[in-house]
Structure 1
């Protein structure tokens, strides 16, 4: 109870009132008596002595009020709970307990946010598992009918967004996955989908890519992401101006990307300071998993529309451009 800042504030108010009372009342009585003497309103006789005596007694009683209150509390409060609270009612203690209450409240809110994130991650894991199982079941049906390999373009794509991982560290120089994990989150989308393995999620992929030296202060290294994808048995073909890989042009990119997606491959797309995934085709338009923007992921694009969307985005006050791409295949 004594650790409650509201109760201590109330007790401090009572304490200050009593202290003020013990100071003001005697002073008022003394001043009043002196005023009577100055104005000669009291005859110097027994009546005068009687008045002075009463006022002196009142002053003494006022000084004794805190002592009397303490005695009463001691009688009523055998365990000294209330008396202890009364003694601890100081400005310093109130500030301390209030700060502690705020810290505990903040900790509870952070814990709730962490639990919510865990619940969201679990839900996404379940959704991705269902997508993988759905595609596996579809593959079994197609195998029975001697059909080709399952089509990623059917929409059974693992979906992750880096913003859902704000409480998970990327590295010490760049903060969280939400801040710098677009490359590793995109890689998780590709691995989870193409290998049909939902254990490849952003936390795991970030940890493994960082161990390979792929996590920098500016985000993920494309060279290490390519090496990581290759280590999982996937093939890669890269064309990128920033990393001086292959031979990039928008005309070539358009042709390569459409051909790759038509053949059930996926594309790790690189724009200025950002990665995301081109996951398939839908009515001859490109379907994307923009790991940094859920709204953009709800739409499909022609290559020209995708290029225009990228160039409408800004980073540090500058418009972004397409810098390259990595075609990922089995």
Structure 2
């Protein structure tokens, strides 16, 4: 009798596990019928110039959408590197991402997609094939319409570069996470900022940049390593970045070294508290990258305007202080 019960339980477990495996394989890459935003690219030089500033500055697209780690380093240093994509971003047990070709190449870049498809990707985190992407890495869904238009208009104006980028790779665990985690779901009801705030040292502009352009809140918030959903207070720091061996070795750093983002609320013990005034804050940003393996995009941020940097400082210092302990910022596991 006991053997029959055990056997029955085993059969039930096999059926449940098998059913789950089939469910994941059938649903991990589902498509979504999300409407296209009614936006159009522009050939206006001023709009294109605004897009160039965003792409190579606060939105920091230029640091990731390049072809190699060496080009990432060059782009961070200010070199004009083609945004042809191909850099590998390991996501641990979830899988591997490959940055996409943002040049208007008609075969391998965004030239093969309509404006509507590109705008939907930015506004809803839905790719041209209808599948969803990891929204937290490109948090532009609430960016003001005119800035979305400026970014895509600039990308359309670039020189096309042919570079066929490999498709992202997902482990079974990654496929399961894609089904259950909200960070892998489309942004169905975005709330675009009414209009981009004027470039002036205001709290409003600082919040806009921090949340919808530079993504300070995305990285300076502790997130689950599997789902990327927030598990700590906003701006409290603590998000972990696993070692990037190729980059670490190229710049002469320990390939086993992990990093955590610091607390940037106005708490007495936060990293923000090190800056006694806005001039010290701007001075630090103008120095650019000091820690070679820092995940922060110091290069693009160092080239932001005074007004943008001042606005960020005003906004961050206006936040409710958090005593959240992010832990050691550089560590080994």
Query: One fold, TM greater than 0.5?
Result: no
Q: TM-score, normalized by length of structure 1?
A: 0.25
By relative contact order (CA 8 Å, sep 6+), the higher-ranking structure is 2
Q: Which has the higher helix share?
A: 1
